[in-house]
Amino acid sequence: MEEYKRDIIINIEEKQTIVELSQMLTPFKSEVYLINRSGGHVVEANVKSLLGLISMQIHNGDQVTVRTVGSDAKEALNKIIQFLT
């Protein structure tokens, strides 16, 4: 099983929504996670889950790690990075 990780800085436009992000990743078989290490806490959430995304409370300028696992993990990683940066 393929696994990829990449640290990114969040830079999204105001019009982008978590619903769009979640729906965009639905076709991928891979699991997609965001890991946020801000404020002394580590929070990891499944990006395909709206509740998980809401719990992340990420903002522009936050550094997060994107982790993808599965048969199309590289493609999923590239797609989410394109959306979040």
Check: CB of residue 30 under 8 Å from CB of residue 74. no
Confidence of residue 17 (pLDDT cuts 50, 70, 90): confident
CATH number of the 3-84 domain? 3.30.1340.10
End-to-end CA distance of the chain: 26
Average pLDDT estimate for 19-24:
87
What pLDDT was estimated at residue 66? 98
CA distance 41 to 31: 22
Dist CA 74 CA 68 (whole Å) = 7
